A and B are shown apart, each in its own frame.
Chain A
Amino acid sequence: MDTMAEIRQTFFQECEEQLSEMELGLLAMDEGNADSETVNAVFRAVHSIKGGAGAFKLTELVQFAHSFETALDHVRSGKLTPTPEMMKIMLRAADVLSDLVEASRDGREINEANYASIAADVKALTTFDGVEEVEEPIDFQPTIIDFGMPELAIEPEPAASQEHEYRINFAPRPELYANANETILIFRELNRLGAMQAFCDAAAIPSLDDIDPNGAYFSWAVQLKSEADIAGVREVFEFVDGEADLTIESDGQAEVSDADIAALLAQALGTPPAADTANASEPSAEIIPISTMPAPVAASSETADVEPAVAPVQAVESSKPDTKAAVVPAQTTIRVEFDRVDRLINLVGELVINQAMLSQRVIEANFAGSSSVVIGLEELEQLTREIQESVMAIRAQPVKPLFQRMSRMVREVADATGKEVKLKTEGEATEVDKTVVERLAEPLTHMIRNAVDHGIESPEVRLAAGKPAEGTVRLTAAHRSGRIVIELSDDGAGINRPKVRASAINKGLIPADMQLSDSDIDNLLFLPGFSTAATISSISGRGVGMDVVKRSIQALGGRISISSRPGLGSTFSMSLPLTLAVLDGMAVSVAGQTLVVPLTAIVETLKPKKSEVHGLGSDGRVMSIRDTFVPLIDVGTQLGFRETPTQPENSVALLVETGGGARNALLVDSIQDQRQVVIKSLETNYGTVAGIAAATILGDGRVALILDVDALVSKSFEETLVGELHYGTGG
């Protein structure tokens, strides 16, 4: 069933949203910031998941969700007041629920033993003093949802294929009509079960003056011949049971009416039975076939009361008391397939390029600067830029879901390491391109694991140091000068500098006598192969060092730095571009080619003098900039565009800083301009090229390569080229 598969997909998508809502609400409750609406929302989220899960026969999920839901129900009805202990259980339960959803979605086998203890804890929440609250039994039978053509008639049970004769006495009460039930519809349903005749007793109708339009004055006696059993007949009256006086008698099938029960009870208790009005009336004198029955809806409310129907709505449009937790007002959204957005972004990228090309041609055609063409073009450029920004914004997403995942990570790692840690977040509404958000997940995860595992001390150590037993990890995001800045800090022990330094020396990463500032030592963490964990815990894993994290951040076009205060904690600061699709760069000429250097890497540009360049070793060169010597890289030869190195006095030097803070001078022929370029992949149709990050398309339609500064200057660059390089002698 294709549609069923679609709906199943929808269900799991919805589960993601519900889980997110649920977690948010639980966290608010944990902070003490929740009002009744929050609790309700959490309840509804779990309730929704359970409802859908039932339809797809996801038994374990349904059962766990049901337990959880019951506990939440108790909280929302006030039967249970959440304590911090309880909230911990709820949060763990939320994690389990999330896992079950995932496992169900992927069709993995679910081992109940894995979460048995949490399930028990949740159940225990609704057990008072050892007496288990009677849980509403889950009326759950795995139903096979068959969306084939539904039967158009209820088939009577074929079990006893003999005809029964039923005598039904039916006297509706006013509530029946008030709830929009209609006798005629019930009889129509009854008629489907077999041949019937209905006799109406209108004796109770008062004089016209006394008629209450909402009253019920008719009662009926129905004779039915049907193969259905008595339960089937009862079912027809299912909705109105309780709104009518109803007895069903059948040959050979006993049906006990309420009145009979009352009588029996009375007998047993020795009290006289209450006046029995239900069965009293015999079919009245008039036998009225059903077809000519006046519609009982004469008692309908075609009456004059026009009520202000809108009033209730306004009343419920509750002026919600502002919740302490900041609630972002729900905005209207639409769902769009990601591919469509991608296509749109590509097209807009084309538009930008085309507009640039047009501008170029106009310039070449030498229009006067103020001519209407040029002015029109400027407007076009402005418009294009605005379209591009708007389109980029479509893909922009808040980092909130990412931060929420981190929240769970903190809980898990804290649990696993026996620490008490809380995650505080700020700026979750900060938006960034979806691609950036996705690729941030892994590095952030590693950093958080490290922070909890290594940064935060155990509760005993913390207490001894005069800190609260519970550690805090802070994750914040904010926009700053066109980029997004994310900070992760902990209030743990900070970096153990002597240990780090010793470890680096032991691993041969630095010479033993090297002079290092505090900040230098902190940055040693980013060196490959670095890990100070005496025991490589299963949490932080092996070799998932900060160098991997750093490379991931850099691959996003970002930068990362670290600062630490002993005893007080450490902070990682990351600065990332808002989107991966465009780049601010400097266009330069090298050996007749145009290359683009990412602006974020450039510190300054210089015009080198011959006297400032010195040889070092067999073919290296350095440049003196103020008082330091900086390695000089001849971009043209490094990329194989020319054989002989260029002369510094004919070149421009770009002082660049790599992610690791190392400074180099890149020698290029000249600088063209600064511009924003649309990033085009080289890898799609070709592959990776050492030293080149990507490509872009210039105004003249030609392809220009975008430099990967870090790769270009890395000492291992030469190794990747396997002897194809030629260096001239140093100048």
Chain B
Amino acid sequence: MTQTILTVDDSRTMRDMLKMALVEAGYNVLQAVDGVDGLDVLQASAPPDVIVTDINMPKMDGFGLIEAVRKDSRYRKVPILVLTTESDAAKKMRAKEAGATGWIVKPFEPTKLIAAIRRVAA
């Protein structure tokens, strides 16, 4: 069955690239432009199999989104990958503390993106 990925990023370029890589790999893609929109999209659809989110976004950033998602019992178990340009340990720790399942480093290679998703998606 096709899996659904929710991608949240305020950059159109990034959204387009994510969509392209994911659709080619056979995933169904939902998109949102910031944390608030991400939550809206979540409410409006069946729970996605994975959420991929940027950190720096207006209105509600990635951390805010993750926290909100984790608080909701419906989505507590949805794997969340953060997109980060920084690969240092401190940032990863912050992501983990917020509740992220894993991360993808920008600029991402499609193979790594797909691998990361498969690592966390049931």
Contact = CB atoms under 8 A, between A and B. Distances in A.
Contacts of A14: 11-13
Interface stretch (A303-311, A361-369, A635-643): A303-311
B115 A154 contact: yes
A313 B36 contact: yes
A307 B71 contact: yes
Interface in A143-199: 143, 145-147, 149-152, 154, 175, 178-182, 185-186, 189
Interface string A33-55: 00000001101100110111011
B72 A48 contact: no
A321 interface: no
Interface string B94-122: 00100111110111111101111011111
Given A44-B56, A179-B101, A309-B71, A51 B14 contact: yes
A540 B78 CA distance: 61
12 contacts: A6-B16, A13-B12, A44-B57, A48-B56, A51-B107, A55-B17, A55-B107, A147-B110, A150-B25, A180-B77, A180-B120, A185-B122
B35 A316 contact: yes
A118 interface: no
Given A150-B24, A236-B119, A136 B86 contact: yes
Interface string A426-454: 00000000000000000000000000000
B81 to A, nearest CB: 9
B60 A316 contact: yes
B96 A189 contact: no
A7 B35 contact: no
A139 interface: yes
B77 A185 contact: no
Contacts of B72: 307, 309
B101 A52 contact: no
A143 B107 contact: yes
A306 B87 CA distance: 35
A60 interface: no
Interface centre among A154, A178, A182, A309 (most CB of B within 10 A): A309
A136 B88 contact: yes
Contacts of A147: 20-21, 24, 110
Interface of B: 10-14, 16-17, 20-21, 24-25, 35-36, 39, 56-60, 64, 67-68, 70-80, 85-88, 93, 96, 99-103, 105-111, 113-116, 118-122
A150 B85 contact: no
Given A146-B110, A312-B67, A242 B96 contact: yes
Contacts of B78: 180
A242 B59 CA distance: 30
A300 B105 CA distance: 29
B17 A7 contact: yes
Nearest to A7: B16
Interface string A658-678: 000000000000000000000
B96 to A, nearest CB: 6
B107 A145 contact: yes
Nearest to B98: A179
Contacts of B100: 179
B11 A182 contact: no
Contacts of B80: 179-180
Nearest to B79: A180
Contacts of B25: 150
B102 A51 contact: no
Contacts of B85: 47, 50-51, 54, 139
Nearest to A302: B73
Nearest to A47: B56
A3 interface: yes
A239 B119 contact: yes
Given A55-B13, A186-B119, A180 B76 contact: yes
Nearest to A309: B72
Contact of B96 (A6, A40, A179, A316): A179
B73 A239 contact: no
Contacts of B17: 7, 55, 145
A311 B99 CA distance: 18
Interface residues of A, number: 56
B38 to A, nearest CB: 10
A243 interface: yes
B35 A150 contact: no
Contacts of B86: 136, 139
B102 A306 contact: no
Contacts of B70: 178
Contact of A7 (B13, B56, B75): B13
Contacts of A55: 13, 17, 106-108
Nearest to A184: B122
A312 B86 CA distance: 27
Given A51-B14, A239-B103, 15 more contacts: A11-B13, A44-B10, A47-B85, A48-B10, A54-B107, A136-B88, A145-B110, A180-B79, A181-B101, A239-B120, A297-B77, A307-B72, A312-B67, A316-B64, A317-B36
Contacts of B122: 182, 185
Given A179-B96, A181-B120, A316-B64, A307 B107 contact: no
A48 B71 contact: no
Contacts of B74: 309
Contact of B20 (A3, A154, A300, A307): A3
A533 B40 CA distance: 61
Contacts of B99: 178-180
A259 B80 CA distance: 29
A144 to B, nearest CB: 9
Contact of A151 (B36, B58, B68, B111): B111
B60 A239 contact: no
Most B-side CB within 10 Å, residue of A41, A139, A317: A139
A674 B113 CA distance: 66
A481 interface: no
B68 A312 contact: yes
A279 interface: no
Which among A10, A54, A149, A179 has the highest number of chain B CB atoms within 10 Å? A179
A180 B87 contact: no
Contacts of B20: 3-4, 7, 147
A48 B11 contact: yes
Nearest to B115: A154
Most buried by A among B39, B59, B114, B119: B119
A54 B106 contact: yes
